[in-house]
Amino acid sequence: MRSISEPEAAGVAVSSLDRRIAGLAALAVVIHLAEAALPSPLPGIKPGLANVVVLYALLRHGLQVALWVGLLRVLVGSLLLGTFLSPGFFLSLSGAVASLAVLALMHRLPGLSGPGLAVPAAMAHVMGQFLTAYVWFIPHAGLFHLLPAFLTAALLFGLAGGLAVNRLLDRGLAREGRA
Amino acid sequence: MTRRYGLTRGDRWVLSAALLALAAAWAALGGDEGGMALVTQEGRVVARLDLERPTRLTVDGPLGQTVLEVAEGRVRFLSSPCRGQLCVHAGWLSQGGAFVACLPNGVAVRIAARSERYDAINF
């Protein structure tokens, strides 16, 4: 017999989609926290491993799950790090919104796999953050001198993340084929 | 979809476009945007220098004469009567928004930027 979760006991219906979103979002949040503790040679440059989970969610379960996972990651991650509504939170949010928008537009294009989606999404993430930083926090043209370095990192990490998603999906399909 | 090195044909197209955009971003970095330098003496604007027109400007301050030099789209403090000489050692300015001041003699130079609201917000 399946155990009844707390929300169910409280009379809230929990669908299998909810469980899937919660599981993937929890994974993304944990990766987000672990990454926040990593030192970086240039403040703000991060591998963005949590977004690997978002892309996996998109390719495996569709846009709706990916949007939930991507936004929950930012919200819950900021609550746990204590940065909710701080500048860092808004930078994080604008990056996530920009990359999710690019994913939403591009995931219907034929012939693209992980890297073809992850690289544009990572670069959109950086540009969304720079736009917010420029409009709101540092209205100085000098800010954009950092952009090429950040975009280079985005391209490399996006490529690596996209290839990782391809591996994950291939393995998942292989396992299902054997089962 | 067939993949070589983990990339589909579509991925390779997207990756090529991304590399092009990246090269353009690096190339745009080299371009200067300067244009005008605003010279102030104790807060009052004493001159607007066109960086494309080589010239020298002498500004009088409480310590004496500060000499500014404009050449090749850049501006610098050529000499200053102050003790620290920080302004002179700051060297050439060419980027929009760049700023150097000689506090002892009250002279400041800033290259006009497109927007001048504030430097940054921090929490």
pLDDT tens digits along A154-169: 999 999 999 999 999 9
Q: A128: how many CB neighbours lie within 10 A of its CB?
A: 22
A146 touches chain B (CB under 8 A): no
Helix and strand element counts for chain A (H, E)? 7, 0
Tell me how far apart the alpha carbons of residues A36 and A29 are, in angstroms, rounded to a whole number.
10
Q: What is the pLDDT at residue B122?
A: 67
Are A118 and A55 in contact by the 8 Å Cβ rule? The answer is: yes
* B50: CATH: 2.60.320.10
Q: What is the pLDDT at residue B62?
A: 94
Are B3 and A113 in contact by the 8 Å Cβ rule? The answer is: yes
Q: What is the pLDDT at residue A11?
A: 77
> Which residue, chain included where needed, has tokens 């945007």?
B33
Of A113, A138, A140, the CB nearest to B11: A113
Tell me how far apart the alpha carbons of residues B27 and A50 are, in angstroms, rounded to a whole number.
31
> What domains lie within chain A, and their CATH numbers?
12-171 (1.10.1760.20)
Q: State whether B98 and B52 are in the same domain.
A: yes
A51-55, A161-165, A171-175, B61-65 — which is least confidently predicted? A171-175
- Pairwise pLDDT comparison (A47 vs A29), residue with the higher score: A29
Average pLDDT over residues A53-77: 96
Q: State whether B62 and B40 are in the same domain.
A: yes
Q: What is the pLDDT at residue A68?
A: 97
Q: State whether B63 and B90 are in the same domain.
A: yes
B2 touches chain A (CB under 8 A): no
Are A129 and A115 in contact by the 8 Å Cβ rule? The answer is: no
A29 CA to chain B: closest CA distance, Å?
24
SS3 content of chain B, % helix, strand, coil (to 5): 20, 35, 45
Q: What is the pLDDT at residue B52?
A: 83
Q: State whether B54 and B95 are in the same domain.
A: yes
Choose, out of A127, A135, A140, A168, the residue to mutate when testing the contact with B (most B CBs < 10 Å): A140
Residues A141, B120: C-beta atoms closer than 8 Å:
no
Q: How many residues does chain B have?
A: 123
Residues A113, B123: C-beta atoms closer than 8 Å:
no
Residues B115, A141: C-beta atoms closer than 8 Å:
yes
Q: What is the pLDDT at residue B107?
A: 95
B3 touches chain A (CB under 8 A): yes
B119 belongs to a structural domain: no
Of A110, A140, A147, the CB nearest to B97: A140
Residues A152, B22: C-beta atoms closer than 8 Å:
yes
Q: Predicted ipTM?
A: 0.82
List, for chain B, all residue ranges whose pLDDT scores fall below the cut of 70: 1, 30-34, 113-119, 122-123
Range of the domain at B83: 36-111
Phi, psi (rounded to 5 degrees) for B67: -110, 125
Domain count, chain B: 2
Q: Write the DSSP symbol of residue B105.
A: T
Beta bridge partners of B107: B41, B102
A41 touches chain B (CB under 8 A): no
